[in-house]
Chain A
Amino acid sequence: MHKLFIICVMLICTNILHSQECNYSFKGNITDFHDNSSLVGASIHILNSNKFKSSNLDGNFEFDNLCSGVITFEIKHIACETKKITVNLTKDTFKSITLEHHLEELSEVIVKVDNKTEATSIEQTLTKKEIETYSDKSLGDALKSLSGVSSLNTGNSIVKPMIHGLHSSRLLIINNNVRQFDQEWGAEHAPNIDINAGGQIKVIKGANTLVYGSDAIGGLILIRPENYTKKDTLFGGTSTSLNSNGRGGNISSEIIKTYENGVYTSAQASYKMFGDFEAADYNLSNSGIKSINASARFGYKSFEKGFDAYYSYVNNTIGIIRAAHVGNVNDLIRAINRKEPSFIDDFSYAIDNPKQSISHHLGKIEAYKRFRGLGKLTLQYDFQVNRRKEFDRRRASFEDAPAADFRLFTTSIQPNLKIDAIDNLVLNTGFLLRYQQNDSAAESVTRISIPLIPDYNKYDAGIYATGNYKLNSRTTISSGFRYDFSRIEAEKKYKVFDWEENNYDELFSEFSSGVIDNFEIYTSPKFNFHNISASLGLTSSLGNNHDFLLNYGLASRMPNASELFSNGLHHSAARIETGSLLLNKEIANKFVTSIERKNQNFGFSVSPYFNHIKDFIQLIPAGEALTTIRGAFIEWKYNQVDAQIFGIDIDVNNKLSDKFMYEGSLSLLRGDNLTEDTPLINMPSTNFSNSIVYTNKKLNRLSISITQYTELKQNRFPDYNFFTFNPILQEDVYVNISSTPCAFTLFHLNSSANFKISNSSSLDIAFNVENLFNVSYRNYLNRLRYFADEVGRNFNIKLKFNY
């Protein structure tokens, strides 16, 4: 396929030689860098002269009667980089010149508003502007605004994103091209990512982006940095947000320096602080959050080579409402039956136990080089250190010692070769080597208790190849294949009783050291997993802005450390969670299709999906209470069933008039446990939203919108309720842990305007009201739904100063 090439070549000729002879010729041949084809119609100009030439059909051009001396050529193209070459002309000279005319397609140097991760991927995007409206919230809150994305919460500050009902290890979060590892196995562990550090966030619904891993059973979340243009400039922004609810907010600042030669550097930092949040009717005591984040970037980019170094630090201290700490199952029943939390105190900024304190370091360096007639070779090295401490309510003298304390170190190296020299075909291939080490502080709880997650070493190696082929101007197909090998080597203590009760002494005798000390046996479980994944995709343009996309993905996921080894007590729900060494890998087959119309006046996307997961690992109540000296606890066990999840996501936008716009979305989902013929636990219920947006571009870009959001009651849930003996009441009581809360509808008001201060600076002002009618409600997908309502009304003011 040959496009119209507009190539501007400028030659700068500086004559400094004294005895000038002006009868030399300079011949050149201009070819395309990436596929060696001749470039036609390039105009060539010698600077400081009126000499212009253009290249012929073979890419050749010729200047005659040039004088000797040093000549600098400058080559320019509307869609490509300016190229300068300098020649010392002392005789007739020939030179090959390469230019790149596919920059736009390669989306490397040119900043594009929206370039898809892969041509065929079914994805949704949050732009920088949209992210900014969530500057004082979490990643999960922002993603929840997309159809098909929900969240699994622990209170209101710990928000785990969920795509099509799946979360934790089934979602890959790719932060600045680095796969985030921050103890994501835990349902109450939210991603440690500062939302203000990202330039763009994408959600890919499907397992079709194999470059990042083979286990994206639910999908991918890509957090991408901003792409800077190559010019000499210094710019940035400082934003602040103030909220009535929680009496806090954040301040975030970013400054970026770019140079015309391709060098860029940026720094960003944010600080967030909230005290106790308020539900509609009461204070959520100990629900505050403090967060400090910083990131820096330095790099150089040109068409042929470049590098990028990035480092980020995130530190969160998150309070968990005090009423959510219960001593045993009877405390839990009391909490469930009570309409309000058992403990409500006056507003405070203090964060007491129970709380989580997490720090996350992420560093990476990436370098690339392009090879003529081949493509781009990228090499990336990264590391992450995640330190998580969880504090429980304990006897006063132990309040400062964490009940759980993990340090996870991850490092990986990933070379990737992108071959784009062949017409209409882009191939990506590479491999990954990763090492991970978890260090659990064994003594943090009590001498005879065992850390929730053991110390382990994990080794991963993966190899992949993906391809995109453009069949014709309307249709692109893609496919990919990936193989991963993983080995996990753990050092774990088991209670001898548990080891024997689960038959591990016979099944896994090779793991046992035989050493028994104080009711505990020392073991070293080691497992190998081989994962295979594949993808197929198709995108076809149907004309009139309509697109059709179809994705199939095969993904497999090895059980994570929690599913294999978990063993311990969670006070937040009076539960003991037990992993199993018998778990196999999960294998998912997911189909997603989408019919889309991208248009400002009337657009829509209708996206049905079906996901079948063999050996789906779920954590469910085992239906009985375990007796300890503290009383009874509910044992939650990991088991495997065959599952299917299917549903549809619908988005619509319609321009009602010059200034009014309608947006709506609907997500329907159904999850089935096929093995036991019951619904799956923790599946999002039907939800839909409608909003009317008024915008007036002439009046300071004023925008006012009102949004309605409704979540229906989840009527499809597995019933794991049971009776247990309450020794205080001395009678059997009903443990209602499965029932779901009622439906709710919220209204939000958003408004914003932009004021120009000078040519290069402006001020954005926004005023928002969340939960306008102060509705009190509870959410099925909140682990603390037994204890307290969700957050009530909030007035919010945001100021952003752009300079």
Chain B
Amino acid sequence: MSNFKTKTMKTTKLLAILFISALSFTACSDNDDHDDHDDHDHGEHEDEITQLVYTLTNTSNSSDVVTFTFTDEDGDGGADGTTDVSGNLTANATYSGVLELINLEEGEDVGAEIAEEDAEDHEIFYITNVAGLQFDTTDVDADLNPLGFNTDVTAGAAGTGILTISVVHEGKKPNDGTVADALSGEGTTDIEVAFDVTVE
């Protein structure tokens, strides 16, 4: 009996040693991975969006173009971003809208990249408190859900208010067309800018 116990003890101790060394080896191989200097200097970097340009062109008068521009050239932090609206929308006109998301430093159209590679994870919303001003998304992602880089805009009676452009990342798709519903899941706001808008 006691002999048996001694044997069991030895086996357990041996097992303990094996377990510890196995973990240590795992730890070491992991450690190699972590201290690899190459991996520390990540070659890849994300191109931050530093400019948003929303261009509206009157469908019956191509010289009637209104652009809404938000620019934050130095990115997050630093100077606040600035907004610029080139003019007023014409009452009772229809416009076709195109949204561009640009990285100014590289001159890269990040929006086009998103539309091409990551459309299912994004949706763009246009929200305004101007009565009669309406934004309809015309483009769709691969799942045929609305995307929002291209829009049809209908202006009604004259009025002033705010236009908010919101880009939701990994939001609920399809949704009921509101930002609140799109963000009701794990979605987060990627872009949120507000412009003064006037219809005359």
Contacts and interface: CB of A to CB of B under 8 A. Distances in A.
Nearest to A322: B186
Interface string A481-523: 0000000000000011110000000000000000000111000
A728 B44 contact: no
Contacts of A271: 23
Nearest to A400: B44
B192 A630 contact: yes
Contacts of A569: 76-77
A358 to B, nearest CB: 9
Interface stretch (B58-66, B78-86, B135-143, B152-160): B78-86
A803 B72 contact: no
Nearest to B128: A730
Interface stretch (A2-10, A439-447, A743-751): A439-447
B50 A629 contact: yes
B183 A441 contact: no
Contacts of B129: 730
B20 A267 contact: yes
A239 to B, nearest CB: 11
Given A576-B76, A630-B189, A803 B194 contact: no
A103 interface: no
A268 B114 CA distance: 49
Size bin of chain A's contact surface: 35 or more
A159 B75 CA distance: 32
A382 interface: no
A527 B7 CA distance: 63
B45 A446 contact: yes
B118 A397 contact: yes
Nearest to B51: A629
Given A267-B20, A628-B76, A393 B46 contact: no
A436 B106 CA distance: 36
Contact of B188 (A292, A326, A626): A326
A238 B19 contact: yes
A760 B10 CA distance: 12
Contacts of A393: 169-170, 188
Contacts of B169: 327, 393, 395
Nearest to A385: B35
Given A342-B183, A498-B77, A728-B166, A327 B27 contact: no
Interface in A392-421: 393-398, 401-402, 405, 407
A627 B74 contact: no
Nearest to B164: A727
Most A CB within 10 A of own CB, among B44, B73, B77, B161: B77
A730 B127 contact: yes
B185 to A, nearest CB: 6
Contact of B192 (A294, A439, A728): A728
Interface string A264-300: 0001111100000000000000000000111010000
A396 B118 CA distance: 7
A234 B183 CA distance: 59
B24 interface: yes
A359 interface: yes
B78 A519 contact: yes
Interface string B1-43: 0100100010011011101110110111011001100001111
Interface string A683-711: 00000000000000000000000000000
Given A292-B26, A629-B52, A255 B191 contact: no
Nearest to A499: B78
A28 B76 CA distance: 81
B30 A292 contact: yes
B31 A313 contact: yes
A361 interface: yes
25 contacts: A238-B15, A254-B20, A268-B20, A292-B26, A313-B24, A313-B31, A315-B30, A330-B192, A331-B189, A359-B34, A394-B46, A397-B118, A402-B42, A448-B74, A495-B77, A495-B78, A568-B76, A568-B77, A569-B77, A630-B189, A630-B192, A631-B189, A631-B193, A727-B164, A760-B9
The 7 A-B pairs of least Cβ separation, nearest first, read A327-B189, A495-B78, A631-B192, A343-B186, A727-B194, A519-B74, A269-B23
